[in-house]
A = this chain, B = another copy of it.
């Protein structure tokens, strides 16, 4: 009897599920029509306000029906993601990966390539750090350890941050991780459930978008513009927040624009996040490369946060794959359990290198000076070209806009590489800035100077200057 009842209920569930599918299909047809109308009207495909309004409406109606807001939000995200992709047109099949790949090919074939595309400084780790790691390896300091990192390293990081920012931190707020990328991943994986949304301020490092997508979330970009000095408009930011939003990613000094966030903007964004219960993921890996004042979320702001930090830039330790996260104890606990599951811990001997690095306070200053000097060269050379750009407040990038618009920048970048051996990163990968490109200061002043000069030649030859 009961088994028959179970069968009946199951077949009903199957029917209801099928009806949902039919409605999904109907919804897709409507979305496709909307896409056509928007195209004719020249409207943006992704309209956060319209979505936000519909989402709020659905959650409210769902509540009246006794549906869990989490479930309704998950459904809304699924539907919106689908609608956006249906309305979107496909374009340019060449990607920036082709540029990277082609650059390596050219080099292997014996051609000189000026690498103005990669985000890796050529500075290298200080001799003291190399010695500390070597020595730890020789001593056999290579056993499974605490997934949070060496206690003495976490203690030292906490102490230095307290001294630098006058915030209150203990070792329990620090998590040692294998690099900044993994830090971003851990933060997102911990904060974001499938269907949740994360706000990005565009242009932004492509990894954020990829990683939000990777953890099943949805990245909602808030555009900033060169005309407004890349200042985020807090009203747009507020409008982009939906009931499914869990976090805002900030990255200042910014990759790719070199913008520092002004204190009042920082305060306003924190206030918005706080009032909406959002976490700020503040990627501060370029903090030490600030040429002027730079705010940090560690400056005593009252909001839930996760800070991403790395030894790669400040200490030239790119290939060591070590960084750290700063967050509330509970968040650190959650992230630590993921490290424990996925990698056990960062190799102990590398952590001894990081511990040594923290004693070398002059190194980040020296490296920052090198970047500032390279930046001056880049700015001077770029000023001679038909481009507009924001003069960076820090970081290791400039993000110029080609004055004559309407070109396929990915294709141009590929041509530039082929004809002049100069590799740059096209703006499209930073969130659709198609007339822009990014110049990195990873290479020497000479290489930067020569690369930009060759870029100028290229633009003249193409009739773009």
Chain A residues in the interface with B (C-beta under 8 A): 2-3, 5-6, 9-10, 12-14, 16-28, 30-31, 33-34, 37-38, 40-41, 50, 54, 57-58, 61-62, 65-68, 71-72, 74-79, 82-83, 118, 120, 124-125, 130-131, 133-135, 137-138, 140-145, 178-179, 181-182, 185, 194-195, 207, 210-211, 214, 216, 317-321, 341-350, 353
Residues of B within 8 A of A74 (CB): 78, 194
Tell me whether A2 and B318 are in contact in the complex, defined as CB-CB below 8 angstroms, given that A75-B24, A178-B178 are known contacts: no
Q: 9 interchain pairs (CB within 8 A)?
A: A9-B33, A10-B34, A10-B50, A13-B30, A118-B144, A125-B140, A137-B137, A143-B318, A178-B178
Q: How far is the CB of A458 from chain B (nearest CB, A)?
A: 26
Partner of A2, one of B12, B41, B125: B41
A13, B40: Cβ atoms under 8 Å? no
- Known pairs A13-B54, A74-B78, A137-B137; A341 contacts B23 (CB<8 A): no
Chain B residues with CB under 8 Å of A124's CB are: 140, 142
* B17 and A37 within 8 A (CB): no
- A20: chain B residues at CB < 8 Å are 20, 23-24, 27, 75, 79
Given contacts A10-B50, A125-B140, A181-B341, 13 further A-B contacts (CB under 8 A): A6-B34, A9-B33, A10-B34, A13-B54, A17-B54, A20-B79, A25-B67, A74-B78, A120-B144, A130-B137, A133-B134, A320-B347, A321-B344
Q: CA of A289 to CA of B286 in the docked complex: distance in angstroms?
A: 46
Identify A319's interface contact among B30, B185, B348, CB under 8 A: B348
A38 to B346, CA, bound (A): 46
> In the docked arrangement, what's the CA distance between A137 and B352, Å?
13
Nearest 5 pairs between A and B by C-beta? A142-B319, A134-B134, A143-B319, A25-B65, A133-B137
Q: Looking at the assembled complex, report how far the CB atom of A79 sits from the nearest CB atom of chain B, in whole angstroms.
A: 7
Complex Cα–Cα for A178 and B57 (A): 42
Query: A41 to B6, Cβ gap below 8 A?
Result: yes
Q: Are A142 and B342 in contact (CB under 8 A)?
A: no
Could you tell me the distance between the alpha carbons of A131 and B343 in the complex, rounded to whole angstroms?
Answer: 24
CA distance A78 to B77 in the complex (A): 11
CB-CB under 8 A from A66, the residues of chain B are: 25
Q: Which residue of B lies closest to A6 (CB)?
A: B37
Query: Distance (Å) between the CB of A72 and the closest chain B CB?
Result: 7
Residue of B nearest to A3 (CB): B41
B34 touches A13 (CB 8 A): yes
Q: Complex: how many Å from CA A229 to CA B346?
A: 38
Q: Which of B72, B137, B182, B347 contacts A134 (CB 8 A)?
A: B137
Give the residues in chain B near A78, CB-CB below 8 Å: 71, 74-75, 78, 194-195
Complex CA–CA separation, A5 to B37 (angstroms): 8
Residues of B contacting A341 in the complex (Cβ-Cβ under 8 angstroms):
181, 185, 207, 210-211, 214
One of B13, B24, B50, B79 near A31 (C-beta < 8 A):
B13
Whether the Cβ atoms of A138 and B144 lie closer than 8 Å is no
